[in-house]
Structure 1
Amino acid sequence: MLAYMEPELQQQFENVEAFDMIETLKGMFQTQARTERFNVWRSFLETKLKEGEPLSPHVIKLVGYTQSLEKLGFPLSQELATDTILASLPPSYAQFVQNYHMHGMEKKVTELHGMLKTAEEDIKKNTKQVLLVQGKPKFKKNSWAKKKAKKGKAKDVIPTPAPAAPKAGPDSETVCFFCKGTGHWKRNCSKYQAHVAKKGGSVTSTSGAGKD
């Protein structure tokens, strides 16, 4: 035992019996080992994989913690080690964890690592498909139908005829050149028409200069 010690410890325990040596060493290093074991165990439980981070470095790190605990005299059972690794995974692995427990699998950590790598590839593929679907350009719904409906409505609309221009006629201040009365023209004057009739002629109805 002395051969594996550092020179200072060899000198200290050179004349000490083996039992006393072991008890003294326990007192010296047990507290330190207990503290180290606690820190490793806490790190093992608190290490979580975040969404999008690579899986393998995470699993390798957790396996390293299990090996450290074993060296410190606290070996974990296979079931406890795999359960802790599964509990450290993000929600995207929830379906894998559910299937693992549903089928009552009992895999070694190395086998579990291989299964998780396959699950990681499937998750990446599904994520890419979702991003492709979300990235497609969005077209306005029924834009073609709306344009067609507008054209149909335009054809169905019957144009409203423009109002007829009011017929030109004499206003109240128009003076008749024959009887000097107001409100009518000479050609419409009853006195003028009677005068023409006596002479055996006829009143010509023309526009323009023939108003009076």
Structure 2
Amino acid sequence: MSNMAAKLKAMGMDVNETFLVQFIINSLPVEFGQFQVNYNTIKEKWNFQELKAMLIQEEGRLKKVKEHSVHLTVQTNAGSNKRKPGKNDKRKDKAPTKDNVSRVRKEVKCFFCKKTGHIKKDCQKRKEWFESKGIQYDPNHKRT
């Protein structure tokens, strides 16, 4: 913005500094909303250099408090050569068969006792451990 004001001044058009400051304030992105409100509530107005210093400080603050997020995608049956169900399949809602359920149960590993065939909430050793500590066992209890 200061470069544009300098170019306009070189062409003979003088840009008022208060106009330039207000123009910059109005063109800030949404993240600077709180900054804009604070500027509008103070009685004394800043010149261009003060505004520049405050914006640099605010940008640094925003970088520190910026939330980071990660989007996770999971692909099942990766590398499988099996044909995926299509439009012409007669049976659309395929229920798990006995063979599929037993195969899945064999592949499951308990996080508590590290044995295969069951999961942690169904683990007998975990239930016994809770009872030995005098804690009421609830397999559906989730930690917060």
TM-score of the two chains, using structure 1 as the length reference: 0.33
Structure having the higher helix fraction is 1
TM-score of the two chains, using structure 2 as the length reference: 0.47
Rg larger for? 1
